[in-house]
Amino acid sequence: MKSLRITLAALSLSAVSSLALAAGNPLSVHVLNLENGLPSPGVNVTLEKHVGKDWQPLAQGVTNEQGRIGELFPGKQAFEAGEYRVVFKTGDYFKKAGRDTFFPEIPVIFEVKNVDQHYHIPLLLSPYGFSTYRGS
């Protein structure tokens, strides 16, 4: 009986944490510097949605000391299926560090099909290259 109560409690906690995640912001980003293996604080990031032939601005943020923006999607707006673009303003970041870069901006276009999922976009950055993927 005790093990049944423990199992039920664990299932309840699991369900609560899943609901908390679903209630959170659906979009986050993370920027890491490949040259030194450290986070990239101070990177300006914009979020846009593809509407017709244009890109509609939705939000803007700056990466924190861990190189993250945990809540990039605007809370007052409904998260809808469609094409989105995150633009990392890497030129300003490298300029502040006294470095040149080949990529002054890095646009990452992605498609949202399931609005119940969280979308995480990490950027692995160096002055002359970058990589990205869908994170979790």
CA R_g for the chain: 18
30 annotated ligand-binding residue = yes
Burial of 58: CB neighbours in 10 Å, binned 0-12, 13-18, 19+: middle
Q: Which of these, 120, 123, 52, 111, lies nearest to 85 by C-alpha position?
A: 111
Distance CA 66, CA 28 (A): 13
Q: Binding residue per annotation — 133?
A: yes
CA neighbor of 43 nearest in space, from 4, 92, 79, 84: 92
Closest CA to 134 of 30, 21, 55, 19: 30
- Residue 120, annotated as binding a ligand: no
Residue 36 tokens, joined: 């030194």
Q: Point out the annotated binding site for substrate.
A: 30, 68, 133
Q: Point out the annotated binding site.
A: 30, 68, 133
